[in-house]
Amino acid sequence: MTGSGFGIGRIRWNWFAALAVLLAALPLVSETNTPTLLAIWALFALSLALMWGYAGILSFGHAAYFGLGAYTYAIASFNIGESTVPFVLALIVPAIVAAIIGAMMFYGRISDVYLGVMTLVVTLILNRFMNATAGDAYRIGNARLGGFNGIPAFPTLNVPGEPSMEVYGTFYYYVVIVCLIAAYLIARWILASAFGRTLIGIRENELRMELLGYNVPAYKTAIFAVSGAMAGLGCLFANWAEIVTPSVFSLGQTAEVLIWVIVGGLGTLIGPMIAAVALGSLKLELGHQTTVDNSLILGAILILVVLLIPRGFAPTFVAWRRRFAQSQVHRRQARGTRRRHVALQEAKQ
């Protein structure tokens, strides 16, 4: 008997390797600018999917950490020059902010609804604040925050220890893909650990976990911080765009990641990542026309998914595949029984 399971399937390494090869070969047949952006969005979706899908914490303001990562990188790289420390800071700062906000919420035992409102308010405050930082007084070291116009032209990612060797184009695509794969494997490792299983227990029944002696607020604060750090990889977005503006804290950014996770399927990691890529591609395609508004289409997709496949695509697909496999087994068994019956009849004759 074992405690394994908890709804977390094993990684299919053959599929994983095939996908990695496919992603590695993509630059041979396509430009890398759009795939890089889609991979960054997949990372963002992964960060929320881990926290919401497995610990049951719904944050309406996950864009706050995405944006904090982007701004931290821009500000730090302006001041430091070399990108390694700014990159690390872009993970640490959102994690610390998330830990502080999370501790206040979870130790304060506020209800889920207020938690949602609080996280949303934090994002809106950051959005308003950053929009109001146009004056010269708003500078951190060499970096001017720039208000509505944001921070442009900061030093982008370079090879660690080599400021003159910038990472861009196809090389940058590979860096983002490596970050995506690493973040996915870390998320899987967290879920397979006792910590991850405890989070799943908390998602299922917080009171019971408390009655079993688990410090629930501490666990929730910890995953909130981990998810915040993962969302801090929004610094990759800043590097991709080569500018960071207050729009990273926008309601649209927050709503999009929620839609990706719902459509992809709560309680899976891969589903929200695929949804981020698919819906992100659709958004980019729709961006080429002006007849129909983007958000209208995304909203319609969300409504359809909630009505028709409320569990999202990935869990529905898994359930459908399981049912299909079971029906195949039953069919084989019935065929075997029929054959044995016929053989018995023939033997009698």
Q: Which residues bind other proteins (CB under 8 A)?
A: 1-3, 5-7, 194, 197-198, 200-201, 203-205, 207-216
Q: Angle at Cα 277 formed by Cα 189 and Cα 245, nearest 5°?
A: 95
152 has which bridge partners?
A: 243
Rounded Cα gap, residues 65 and 271, in angstroms: 21
Cβ of residue 107: shortest distance to other proteins, in angstroms?
Answer: 10
Task: Please tell me the number of Cα atoms within 13 Å of 300 on its side-chain side.
Answer: 8
49 versus 298: smaller Cβ distance to other proteins: 49
Q: Closest CB to other proteins among 31 and 210?
A: 210
Please, which residue, 144 or 197, has the CB nearer to other proteins? 197
Residue 186's CB is within 10 A of a number of other CB atoms, namely 15
For the bound state, the minimum distance from the C-beta of residue 200 to other proteins, rounded and expressed in Å, comes to 7
Nearer to other proteins, 86 or 217 (CB): 217
Q: Phi, psi at residue 243, to the nearest 5°?
A: -160, 150
Which CB atom, from 106 or from 237, has the smaller least distance to other proteins?
Answer: 106
b/e 101-122 (16+ beta carbons within 10 angstroms → b): bbbebbeeeeeeeebbebbbeb
Contact 253, 247 (CB under 8 A): yes
**How far is residue 287's CA from residue 294's CA, in Å, rounded to a whole number?**
7
Shortest distance (Å) from residue 196 CB to other proteins: 11
CB of 328 to other proteins, least distance (A): 22
Q: Which is nearer to other proteins, 28 or 194 (CB)?
A: 194
CB nearer to other proteins: give 230 or 266: 266
With CA atoms as reference, report the closest residue to 260 among 249, 247, 273.
273
Coil, helix or strand at residue 308: helix
Apex 311 CA angle, 259 and 301, nearest 5? 40
- The nearest distance, CB 309 to other proteins, in angstroms, is 18
Nearest distance from residue 113's CB to other proteins, in Å?
Answer: 21
In the complex, what is the shortest distance from the CB of residue 204 to other proteins, in angstroms, rounded to a whole number?
4
